[in-house]
Structure 1
Amino acid sequence: MAADKQVALVVGASRGIGRQIAIDLAKNGYAVVVAAKTTSDASKCFPFPPDPNSSASTINTVAREILEAGGDATPVQVDVRDFAEIQSLVDQTVAKYKRLDVLVYNSGAIWWSSVEKTPMKRFQLMQRVNPEGLYGALQASLPHFYRNEGAGGKGRGRVVVISPPIYSRFLRGKTAYAMGKFGMSALTIGYAMDLEREGRKEVAITSLWPAAAVESAATQNPQTDRSQLRKPTIFSDAVLAILRSPHKDVNGKTLLDEDFLREHEGVTDFSKYTLVPGTTPRRIMPNAFPDLRVKEQDDEGNRMDSTALRAKL
């Protein structure tokens, strides 16, 4: 691997959007660690490549796709419900590539229903895979970001989280799922504040969500109208745009793929992303979101630090 090649860890990269992100990062010169729970013997996969939204698509087949296209990829199995496995994943990444520059957290458990019809086991699964898994992946990655060369010795690194802007309508009919996804967005906003306070101007975290539905493993059901879907390349293009954007434009932001590509990258024609040619997928996200900032935003008052308190005990 070339010494100047950046290293991206994509968690939840076996199928759908995660697979597309991993493949397009590799096409753009990143060494990619392809991580998820599902594995297989990619050498015996036929036909190859498999349907990217099927169970035949695994971290091994995705890594094979990247390698056969001339890219650099390593598959590593991980169960994000186990922090020890997450730590091992990051350790293996750095042991092989000697660095970590980008973390994309795409792992997700989904169950859309009312509170009454969401069993406790489903609720717990979503919280463990979604916000808890992200928190663990971020915790394990931070020391390596901070060791990277950056302005003022404060490190360098980027995190992209697959979670939405925070607004009330998202809770309708899927409260348990939204609780976890909002937790992920809260981590994006809160960690960005930590970075600002610490003066880490080359480490940034961003949340990203589709403006219109995207073809993925989650949309492979009879309820989904294929004409209302976009290709996952719109999402990977937005991820790449975030990674090359200035810190101030993305840190702590909860963005939508279409809006960011239009407003920041100047994209005006989105027809190339349409899954069914000649159709216009319906926008599923609002056109504007509430501003969560308050007048007293910068007034921290007497901020308590539990770490400092414990050190005195």
Structure 2
Amino acid sequence: MNPDNKEVCLIIGASRGIGRQVAIDLAKHGYFVVIAAKTTSDASAIPASSFPPDPNSSESTINTVAREITEAGGSALALPVDVRDVDNVKDLVDEVVRRLGRLDVLIYNSGAIWWSAVETTPVKRFMLLQQVNPQGLYAAVSAALPHFGKQGWKGRIIVVSPPIYSRFFRGKTAYAIGKVGMSVLTKGLAMDFVRQGRKDMAITSIWPAVSIESAATQESVKRDPELLKDLRKPTIYSDAILAMLQSPAEEVNGLLDLDEDFLRKKGVTDFSRYSLMPDSERPPRRIMPARFPVLEVAEQDDEGRRVDSVVLRQGKEKSGAAGGGSKL
């Protein structure tokens, strides 16, 4: 299935919008891309005159994205997944390795959105947000780590989650709990990689500095066409992710950054090509702060005796077995 033994990138949440663009651009750069999401279709039934479908519509599915890539000469595989189902996520990751022989990059782009105050966010909606966002990511990472280990701990993980700052919580607390939790996973797993000496592993979070064209923003533009001036093409996101993947692991491990800001660090100065209206009298409005708080504290390396719950539980189980007591 992967005769050229290309590096394999699994993108969860790649049926349309940003995820689709990332898949297409990574395939152009030589990756064998696995497109995973819930939305499927019979892409072969779409006539050439109507292909490809609107990338921000429900007509764009994992199958149409795979067809786009393969017809352009790239390598792609479409596999369905429901990120709310932990077992289904594990089966997806295992199937990728079984069929393609390797896993080099995991990108988690799936996301549920609900922006409203706590009092207008039902518990069921809150639970859905947590299932799709932090739980889905955690399940994917948990399933991927054993495969990275078998490959000598060489791999990259890219997470779509924001830098951590106070304004992000405003008016969308339930959503922020999950998204910030995803960024906490990025920070925590990065620390694990460092502590365990896994120098060729890196996990990085990326977030847009300016709103990007998507199904959600299309609805806003229909109500106010002037908003087009404040939108960018999703290619800025794929360019930033490619730059992250091409950077040394130690440079990006644990990094929470914005697409524009990271590209600037890599020498990009002209962002007009990403604007939907490049001839506008002003650049698109930045929606993110210019600077973010530093999370590290002076005593971070002096945390006292490290506690590992797995070790504690194993010790209690051995003690219980020796003494005839019940296990925890």
TM-score over 0.5 for the pair: yes
* Offset, 1:119: 1.3
Write the mapping of 1:74-153 to structure 2, written as runs, cut at 5 A.
74-149=77-152
Aligned residues: percent identity? 64
Cα distance in 1 for residues equivalent to 2:8 and 2:190: 21
* Offset, 1:278: 1.3
| TM-superposition CA deviations, 1:52-71 (whole Å, max 9, x none) | 00000000000000010011
Q: Which residue of structure 2 lines up, in the alignment, with residue 72 of structure 1?
A: 75
Q: Which residue of structure 2 lines up, in the alignment, with residue 252 of structure 1?
A: 254
**Alpha-carbon RMSD:** 1.1
* Offset, 1:45: 2.6
Cα distance in 1 for residues equivalent to 2:258 and 2:134: 19
* Offset, 1:262: 0.6
Gap runs ≥5 in structure 2 = 318-328
* Offset, 1:276: 1.7
What TM-score does the superposition give when structure 2 sets the normalisation length? 0.92
* Offset, 1:198: 0.3
Q: Which residue of structure 2 lines up, in the alignment, with residue 214 of structure 1?
A: 212
Match of 1:287 among 285, 290, 294: 290
Aligned amino acid, residue 55 of structure 1: S
Q: Which residue of structure 2 lines up, in the alignment, with residue 152 of structure 1?
A: none
Q: Which residue of structure 2 lines up, in the alignment, with residue 162 of structure 1?
A: 160
Q: Which residue of structure 1 lines up, in the alignment, with residue 182 of structure 2?
A: 184
| Superposed structure 1 runs of 4+ greater than 2 Å apart | 1-4
Cα distance in 2 for residues equivalent to 1:257 and 1:299: 33
Specify the SS of the correspondent of 2:294: coil
Cα distance in 2 for residues equivalent to 1:306 and 1:248: 28
| TM-superposition CA deviations, 1:32-57 (whole Å, max 9, x none) | 11000000110123511000000000
Specify the SS of the correspondent of 1:100: coil
Aligned amino acid, residue 10 of structure 2: L
Specify the SS of the correspondent of 1:144: helix
What TM-score does the superposition give when structure 1 sets the normalisation length? 0.96
Do residues 55 (structure 1) and 58 (structure 2) align?
A: yes
Specify the SS of the correspondent of 1:205: strand
Gap runs ≥5 in structure 1 = 150-154
**Count of residues in correspondence between the two structures:** 307
Cα distance in 2 for residues equivalent to 1:54 and 1:195: 38
Specify the SS of the correspondent of 2:164: coil
Specify the SS of the correspondent of 1:66: helix
Do residues 32 (structure 1) and 30 (structure 2) align?
A: no
Higher CA-based Rg: 2
Q: Which residue of structure 1 lines up, in the alignment, with residue 43 of structure 2?
A: 42
Specify the SS of the correspondent of 2:119: coil
* Offset, 1:217: 2.4
Aligned amino acid, residue 113 of structure 1: S
Specify the SS of the correspondent of 1:116: helix
Cα distance in 2 for residues equivalent to 1:156 and 1:42: 34
* Offset, 1:3: 4.4
Specify the SS of the correspondent of 1:220: helix
